[in-house]
Structure 1
Amino acid sequence: MPPPLDASSSLLRDRRFVLLVSARTVSVLGSAFARVALAFAVLALPGASAGRLSLVQCCLALPQVTFVLGGGVVADRMSRSRLMVVSDLLGGPAYAGLAVMVLTRHAPLPAMCLLTAVAGTGTALFWPAMASVVPLLVRADRLQRANATLRIFQNGATLLGLSLSGLVVALLGPGWALAINAASYLASALLVRGLRVTARPRAASSGRADLRDGWREFARRQWLWVVVAQFAFLVAAMSAVNGVLGPLAAQRGLGGARGWSYVVGAQALGTLVGAGVALRLRVRRPILVAVVAMFPVALPMALLAVRAPVWWVCGANFGVGVATDVFGALWAATMQREIPDEVLGRVSAYDVFGPLAFAPLGTLVAGPAAVAFGLYRTLAGCAVLTVLATVAALLSRDVRTLRAPDPGRHRDPAESLPA
């Protein structure tokens, strides 16, 4: 779904915003290839096993949790566009090395683990920088529009990448798909380099003091930590369903892998529509709307629990895609408006850290819970957990009452222009 002219044409005439959109589109397209290719690359190697795959995936995920808070500190100390380039220059060569090892079929496990850890570290540095660079390019009254426009292009790239990745893996092999991902990182670095966002001057301080300052800014805003806590439980439940429980339910009664691919594809389509809705949406209480938008996340879990037909689950998951993208655009714009620029990188890192840490926990617990309580009861429990976490977030007065500023109040991004 292309962005409507009346909503985004002015943003897409801004050279620096276009560079950012282009970089994210290219990078997300390549990352969609890696999501499919990495697992099949490991499994195609001699001596492949489930344990080897788990170890490689763990080496990718663990640095993301470990270093994301440090990434927030660095994002507030140096040029955010430069940090994004650094992260791309970590990920690109790492995936290029993985591609070479897979193509030559000489892939020692320690080397694969090292390269995936480097790629994961690059991702940890990238997230806080990306979350905090947008308000340096766009006025506050255009932040929701800017975030929604970014999400439209990113979601389209994800859909295209997931569609093409299976074809590339099948015809050319996973090594070439990993090479495409490596090239996308390098292309993104070249595009982001053109942003040239300068670092703001800051007093010298230790990394520990910076983290404490970021935590104080995070903890003093009730609406912020309440919704991050809510999302941590939602992400745990969604990871359990998407990674373990959903495929098991599909295997038992939704047509197996083909049926589950329809369910996943429906959510991806929903994200495109959701970003379009967020582009037009104007609300006075963005956090209240964002939190309420999370209730539909429980619906496909509940439908899977009662063994509903696959098309019902697809429709519900389409709604999840719409809801999560509306949430994402409203949440990002509110954070970028409400958090002072000098601590936005660190606060964004705390925002990412909670859900990121809970995601593997949900996946880890899902299998044993399904064995102990039964698959369908565990799915129902995930649905209940999602609803309870959302209701609990609505008990916060700050969540219910935080208002968007008047359209005339904005932070001028011109201060970030290079000298």
Structure 2
Amino acid sequence: MTERLASPATAPAWAGRNYTLLTTAAIVTGLGANGSLIAAAFAVLDTGGDGGDVGLVAASRTVPLVVFLLIGGAVADRLPRHRVMVAANILNFLSQAAFAVLVLTGEPRLWQMMLLTALGGTGQAFFSPAAEGMLMSSVQGAQAGRAFAFFRMATQGAALGGAALGGALVAAVGPGWVLAFDAAAFAVAGSLRAFLDVGHIPPRAPGEGMLADLREGWREFTGRPWLWGVVVQFSLANAVVGAADAVYGPLVARDSLGGAGPWGLALGAFGAGTVAGALLMTRWKPRRLLFAGTLCVFPLALPSAALAVPVPVGVLYAVMFVAGTTVEVFGVSWMTALHQEIPEDKLSRVSAYDWFGSVSLMPLATALAGPAESAFGRTQALWGCAVLVVVVTAMVLLIPDIRTLTRRGESVAAGSPAVPADAERPVGGLG
């Protein structure tokens, strides 16, 4: 066990040194990153760009994320994860700092914004699998679900503050300063993550190379219907929700809601909902965790429908809060299922396949958002986003393991093999 930053009298037993450092660093980057998403969109619009240009900049971040995610997962399961995370934070710091300088000192060109955003996506591709594996290996036992809920509550609270503050600052001082704040946040978070301890993680056995590692991760991923089923679901849902948030949301805000400030508050309301959902999950432990979580994905369709109308700002805030609350129930349930079922030495590779599937269609969706608006109209495109979320969520409930996978008292993520579900019930299984 690692040394704790806080004494047992002031912190739960599972809140060890690594967990505390990871949570603190995630709060710092959450404050910066959520404001920078708004800043990047309005930086494009301020230079005369349209919805198609906003979509291209958003897609340029996701393309390298998709390309390098699987490599990032293999690297994170082979090298010390904290070093991968720090290196990724350095790249994010440099790219966001350059983006901020361009916006503050002159009129940035579209290709420059796309290039710097792509560098940020590359850093994220290596960071995300390493970070998820590091977090899951930092907690053990029956309290893992509560630990994940508190982690997500803290980081979603940072998202709430970052989105609201980012929208207000974009309106008050312009997007350049918000991008500069995000760069500084990456520098601080990278410094914290440099102190993570990986001594408790067993040394990796010599492998046969990266391709062999990727194949092993693929077998782990495809052998579990609940895992690939949810990833396919979110590959479609994330694509359309991402397009609505990155492209249509700022445009509706500009035309009908009053600009960057109200849209930032709407994103903040979603963040407030996720905090409420995480708080709920510190107390609620649904036995059929994936079934309960999947039912809570349906309200994710509500924000796109609200933008399609569009509803008054107050109603939009309420809709975003409800969607954030319910989708966070899924988020905590999903992390608990991964922690419970996936061996520790494969966590980052499985996480990489999870991330890869979940974001693989986002570049296409964001790039096509502008043309879709021109072809069908913004209202029809937003209604299409809402309907697709409902359909794919209903379809994933057809997978038996989604309905029947149950919570166990102890996790297997500390290194022991995952227990097939058919060892616990007469039919079905995870592979």
- TM category (shorter chain) comes to 0.7 to 0.9
Question: Equivalent of 1:205, from 197, 204, 208?
Answer: 208
Partner letter of residue 331 of structure 2? G
What is the aligned-residue identity percentage? Answer: 41
Q: Which moved more, 1:292-301 or 1:280-289?
A: 292-301
Partner of 1:335: 338
Contact 1:274 1:325 (C-alpha < 8 Å) held by counterparts: yes
Structure 1 pair 87–269 and aligned structure 2 pair: CA distance change class (3 A):
same
Determine helix, strand or coil for the equivalent of 1:268. Answer: helix
Partner of 2:85: 84
Q: Which moved more, 1:376-385 or 1:52-61?
A: 52-61
Partner letter of residue 26 of structure 2? R
Partner letter of residue 36 of structure 1? I
- Correspondence list, 1:251-270, <5 A: 260=263, 263-270=266-273
Instruction: Kindly state the Cα deviation for residue 259 of structure 1 after the two structures are TM-superposed.
Output: 5.9
- Correspondence list, 1:180-199, <5 A: 180-198=181-199
Cα deviation, 1:374-418, whole Å, max 9, x if unaligned, reads 5444444333322221111111111111111124x56559xxxxx
Contact 2:44 2:110 (C-alpha < 8 Å) held by counterparts: no
Partner of 2:365: 362
Partner of 1:23: 25
Cα deviation, 1:201-235, whole Å, max 9, x if unaligned, reads 22222222221111111011000011111112211
Structure 2 distance, partners of 1:148, 1:140, is: 14
Partner letter of residue 271 of structure 1? T
Structure 2 distance, partners of 1:305, 1:101, is: 34
Structure 1 distance, partners of 2:259, 2:97, is: 33
- Correspondence list, 1:91-240, <5 A: 91-105=92-106, 113-170=114-171, 172-198=173-199, 200-240=203-243
Partner letter of residue 36 of structure 2? A
Write 1 or 2 for the structure with the bigger share of helix. Answer: 1
Verify: 1:69 aligned to 2:89, yes or no: no
Structure 1 pair 134–261 and aligned structure 2 pair: CA distance change class (3 A):
closer
Structure 1 distance, partners of 2:247, 2:16, is: 43
Partner of 1:277: 280
Determine helix, strand or coil for the equivalent of 2:282. Answer: helix
Partner letter of residue 75 of structure 2? V
Contact 1:11 1:146 (C-alpha < 8 Å) held by counterparts: no
Structure 1 pair 11–87 and aligned structure 2 pair: CA distance change class (3 A):
farther
Determine helix, strand or coil for the equivalent of 1:280. Answer: coil
Structure 1 pair 180–239 and aligned structure 2 pair: CA distance change class (3 A):
closer
Structure 2 distance, partners of 1:61, 1:245, is: 17
Partner letter of residue 405 of structure 2? L
Partner of 1:345: 348
Instruction: Kindly state the Cα deviation for residue 270 of structure 1 after the two structures are TM-superposed.
Output: 0.9
Structure 1 pair 318–16 and aligned structure 2 pair: CA distance change class (3 A):
same
Partner of 2:418: none
Contact 2:341 2:413 (C-alpha < 8 Å) held by counterparts: no
Partner letter of residue 28 of structure 1? G
Verify: 1:298 aligned to 2:301, yes or no: yes
Instruction: Kindly state the Cα deviation for residue 242 of structure 1 after the two structures are TM-superposed.
Output: 2.6
Partner letter of residue 151 of structure 1? R
Structure 2 distance, partners of 1:403, 1:263, is: 35
Determine helix, strand or coil for the equivalent of 1:204. Answer: coil
Partner letter of residue 32 of structure 2? G
Structure 1 pair 56–305 and aligned structure 2 pair: CA distance change class (3 A):
closer
Structure 1 pair 372–187 and aligned structure 2 pair: CA distance change class (3 A):
closer
Structure 2 distance, partners of 1:305, 1:170, is: 24
Structure 1 pair 30–382 and aligned structure 2 pair: CA distance change class (3 A):
closer
Contact 2:58 2:366 (C-alpha < 8 Å) held by counterparts: no
Structure 1 distance, partners of 2:306, 2:389, is: 14
Partner of 2:16: 14
Contact 1:236 1:359 (C-alpha < 8 Å) held by counterparts: yes
Contact 2:269 2:318 (C-alpha < 8 Å) held by counterparts: yes
Instruction: Kindly state the Cα deviation for residue 369 of structure 1 after the two structures are TM-superposed.
Output: 4.2
Instruction: Kindly state the Cα deviation for residue 284 of structure 1 after the two structures are TM-superposed.
Output: 1.3
Cα deviation, 1:347-366, whole Å, max 9, x if unaligned, reads 11111112212223333444
Partner letter of residue 143 of structure 2? R
- Correspondence list, 1:376-391, <5 A: 376-391=379-394
Contact 1:296 1:319 (C-alpha < 8 Å) held by counterparts: yes
Structure 1 distance, partners of 2:301, 2:38, is: 26
Cα deviation, 1:53-76, whole Å, max 9, x if unaligned, reads 665544333211111111111111
Q: Which moved more, 1:296-305 or 1:264-273?
A: 296-305
Cα deviation, 1:213-262, whole Å, max 9, x if unaligned, reads 11111011000011111112211232243344555666776677666555
TM-score by length of 2: 0.83
Q: Which moved more, 1:177-186 or 1:363-372?
A: 363-372
Structure 1 pair 391–111 and aligned structure 2 pair: CA distance change class (3 A):
closer
Contact 2:160 2:270 (C-alpha < 8 Å) held by counterparts: no
Q: Which moved more, 1:308-317 or 1:124-133?
A: 308-317
Structure 1 pair 12–177 and aligned structure 2 pair: CA distance change class (3 A):
farther
Gaps of at least 5 residues in structure 2 are 1-7, 416-431
Partner letter of residue 23 of structure 2? V
Structure 2 distance, partners of 1:43, 1:247, is: 9
Structure 2 distance, partners of 1:256, 1:117, is: 26
Contact 1:140 1:411 (C-alpha < 8 Å) held by counterparts: no
Structure 2 distance, partners of 1:346, 1:24, is: 21
Structure 1 distance, partners of 2:263, 2:108, is: 31
Partner letter of residue 186 of structure 1? A
Partner letter of residue 394 of structure 2? V
Partner of 2:3: none
Contact 1:132 1:336 (C-alpha < 8 Å) held by counterparts: no
Structure 1 pair 94–246 and aligned structure 2 pair: CA distance change class (3 A):
closer
Structure 1 pair 83–382 and aligned structure 2 pair: CA distance change class (3 A):
same
Partner of 2:420: none
